[in-house]
Amino acid sequence: MSQVRVTLPDGSVKEFELGSTPWDVARSISEGLARQSVAACLNGRKVDLSTPIVEDCHIELITLNSPAGLDLYRHSTAHLMAHAVKSLYGDDVQVTIGPSIENGFYYDFYSTKQTFSPEMFDVIEKKMEELATADLPIVRQEMSREDAIALFREMGELYKVQLIEDLPPNETISLYRQGDFVDLCRGPHLPTTKLIKAFKLTGVAGAYWRGSEKNAMLQRIYATAFPDKKELKAYLAKLEEARKRDHRKLGRELDLFSFSEEAGAGLVIWHPKGALLRTLLEDFERREHLKRGYDIVMGPQILRTELWKTSGHYENYRENMYFTEIDEQSYGIKPMNCLAHMLIYKSKMRSYRDLPLRFFELGTVHRHEKSGVLHGLLRVRGFTQDDAHILCSPEQLDAEIKGVLGFVRDVMGIFGFEYEMEISTRPEKSIGSDADWERATKALMAALEDSGLPFEINEGDGAFYGPKIDIKLKDALDRKWQCATIQCDFTLPERFDLTYVGSDGEKHRPVMLHRVILGAIERFVGVLIEHFAGNFPLWISPVQAVIINVTDNQAEYVGQVYEKLLAGGVRVKKDLRNEKLGFKIREAQMEKIPYMLVVGDREVEGGLVAPRDRTGKTLDPMTPEQFVRFIQDECSLYH
């Protein structure tokens, strides 16, 4: 056969010489497409543009402006960074892995002689630019397992040797070469380094080899890359804004929370303003749940280990749990709230007339997160979830899922969040029958489809007991945050033998929905801080107003206004320090307090206050009583 038939995405068929490449196919369509193409999909398999076509196939060209093309571009830039590091530091450094990630890539290095720091980034970037402009072909090479191991062992790249040894016996070993640099990689890659135009190293952190604390500590250099410098510049500007909004930085500046090594890693210490902020959120949550027919419940912090074995947590989630012993009896500190809620359900006979039952708990849980992944409020070991479990009949399931979706819509609208959804399916480590997983997954899909809500499929990332809808918020900087989730569970009701008496007088099995709306309160507060840059909406601002005197002559009147505002439910403080007015106003703005009430002799005489907001806008003078009503009216929108 000297010709191959190539089917294009539009269904048209072209014939090419045997051994032609995807690049030849692109060029036959247009020179512009050939310039934009960076790889291809041959019969569903991603390949380099230089891959020979040896049989009839379906082809899709991957262009640089597509998500797959950008991902490939970043992975090739990760190789370029590793090449630069090896060129600069030689045998002092071993390379490990360098994947692309959202908005960029990283590469992990092992070294006992070299410690990377941001001060070294300019040197590494300069070497990367030099290698990119050298227009080095990026060439794929396949070899036997034995030859590949021998090659990397001779190079002193022992982590690459480990990776090859752990590959399945029938796995094709492929390498990519560019100049004097060679890396183990499945590919595909850009055809040449010259296509890499814009990149920036952004940070360095420690990371354990293969994520295990038992393994060596590596140095991870983070970076980003874009096809052109304008896109890179825009992204870096957004990154700088993200640094300004970092909830850890603002948390210190606004005196909301802290962490202490004395207390332990990943355990939040809430300061007065931070504790008040989360209390306001929790009170809001209670009101919203009561309005929707939820019952508030509370479960213990520890439960006997036998219960965790019954639920499957001991087998499937044990590494994330803490255990203790009391009177020679093993107990597990709860990482989730579902067990106590099932025990409440099981405490008496239930009828179909009782369903659905919606149990809500602001439950504090503890999970053993690895120290390397702890990150401010966003990843902690002790946190409180707005957790609820809905027990219903199979016939009620669709309406209950849609009810939760509506709850999420209403709450996210209050905070001004847009969001996206995906369904996470059965993971490898799981419990329950295939039939129950299929029923649960179809129920979630049907509810989304009926509601006209688009979703993606996230294969293999469900909970171990059931599939879930994951809801990802988009903040002011278009970053995505996982908060709300809806999990459909046919399995735990079976394991705990939960039943209800149906209209036929027979026992039936309920279905359970696990769901959170805000998710972990700690995480949600962290997201709120960054979304609003600390400028919280008035209704959840820990301090809504500060009264500022001009001179000591107004101190007594300030005290009177303060008492009136407190009595009216305004969260207020007074600033009577012997400082200049401008200084006190600037400081209140730095604290991001929504309103400053300036009081001078004129205000005292008229029984007024002169409000100005944190942006500097001044309002008409008003009486303290009018200001109380002003605050109440604005806050009433969220009650």
Alpha helix segments (H runs only) across 416-482: 434-450
108 counts as catalytic: no
Whether 575 is a known active-site residue: answer: no
Q: How far apart are the first and last CA of the chain?
A: 75
pTM given for the model = 0.82
pLDDT of 1: 55
The catalytic residue among 79, 127, 468, 571 is 468
% of the chain at pLDDT higher than 70: 100
Q: Are 572 and 546 in contact (CB under 8 A)?
A: yes
Instruction: Say yes or no to pLDDT of 172 above 60.
Output: yes
Q: How far is CA 360 from CA 332, 366, 463, 465, in A?
A: 21, 18, 20, 20
Task: Report pLDDT digits (tens) over 229-243.
Answer: 999 999 999 989 999
Confidence of residue 41 (pLDDT cuts 50, 70, 90): very high
Does residue 389 carry a catalytic annotation?
yes
Instruction: Count CB-CB contacts under 10 A for residue 581.
Output: 15
Catalytic entry in 389, 571, 574, 592: 389
According to the model, what pLDDT value does residue 478 have?
Answer: 84
Q: How far is Cα 182 from Cα 349, in angstroms, rounded to an integer?
A: 67
The dihedral over CA atoms of 233, 236, 242, 246, expressed in degrees to the nearest 10, equals: -160
Sheet-wide strand order for 139-143? 139-143, 173-178, 181-184
Per the annotation, the verdict on 468 as an active-site residue is yes
Angle, helix 272-291 to helix 521-532, in steps of 10 degrees: 110
Q: Which of 490, 414, 486 has its CA nearest to residue 451? A: 486
* Residue 364 φ then ψ, to 5°: -85, 130
Residue partners of 18: CB distance under 8 A and separation at least 6: 1, 2, 3, 4, 53, 54
| pLDDT at site 475 | 87
- Considering the chain, what percentage of its residues have pLDDT values greater than 90? 90
Domains present along the chain, CATH in parentheses:
3-63 (3.10.20.30), 68-229 (3.30.980.10), 257-299+335-532 (3.30.930.10), 538-638 (3.40.50.800)
Q: How crowded is residue 76: how many other Cβ atoms within 10 Å of its Cβ?
A: 28
- Is pLDDT of 60 > 90? yes
**Over 70: is that where the pLDDT of 42 sits?**
yes
CB half-sphere exposure, 414, CA atoms < 13 A: 20
| Mean pLDDT of all residues in 17-39 | 93
Point out the catalytic residue in the list 185, 338, 392, 483: 338
Which pLDDT does position 584 carry in this prediction?
95
Residue 212: pLDDT above 90? no
Whether residue 639 is predicted with pLDDT greater than 90 in this model: the reply is no
**Do 320 and 368 form a contact (C-beta atoms < 8 A)?**
yes
Helix, strand, or coil here: 229? helix
Marked catalytic residue, from 94, 178, 385, 544: 385
Question: Rounded CA gap, 534 and 247, in Å?
Answer: 8
DSSP assignment of 346-362 equals: HTS--BGGG--EEEEEE
pLDDT attached to residue 557 = 96
CA distances, 545 to each of 223, 252, 568 (Å): 42, 20, 13
Distances (CA, A) of 395 to 53, 450, 467, 504: 53, 16, 18, 15
In this prediction, residues 328-357 reach a mean pLDDT of: 96
Question: Quick check: 214 pLDDT over 90?
Answer: no
Mean pLDDT of 35-55: 94
Q: Is the pLDDT of residue 359 over 90?
A: yes
Q: Pick the catalytic residue from 83, 350, 367, 584.
A: 367
- 511 Cβ contact list (under 8 Å, min separation 6): 391, 392, 393, 394, 397, 440, 488, 489, 490, 493
What gap in Å lies between CA 511 and CA 488, rounded to an integer?
Answer: 8
* β-bridge mates for residue 258, sequence order: 269
Distance CA 393, CA 251 (A): 44
Return the pLDDT at 409. Answer: 95
Give the helix ranges, DSSP H, for 90-198. 121-133, 145-155, 158-165
φ, ψ (nearest 5 deg) of residue 370: -65, 145
Strand partners, 24: none
pLDDT value at 537 more than 60: yes
| pLDDT value at residue 76 | 97
Give pLDDT tens digits for 547-565.
999 999 999 999 999 999 9
pLDDT at 207 over 80: yes
Among this protein's residues, is 367 annotated catalytic? yes
- Residue-wise pLDDT tens digits, 450-499: 999 999 999 999 988 899 999 999 888 888 898 999 999 999 999 999 99
Of 387, 470, 475, 489, the catalytic one is 387
Q: Is the pLDDT of residue 429 over 70?
A: yes
The pLDDT value recorded for residue 571 is: 97
Query: What mean pLDDT is reported for the chain?
Result: 94
Which tokens go with 599? 């009081």
The reply to whether 14 belongs to the active site is no
CB atoms within 10 A of CB 170: 6
pLDDT at 27: 93
86, 514, 531, 574: the active-site residue: 514
Q: Which long-range contacts (CB under 8 A, 24 or more apart) does 316-321 make?
A: 316/429, 316/430, 316/431, 316/464, 317/464, 319/368, 320/367, 320/368, 320/369, 321/367, 321/368
Checking if the pLDDT of 385 tops 80, the result is: yes
Q: Give the pLDDT confidence score for residue 2 in this predicted structure.
A: 84
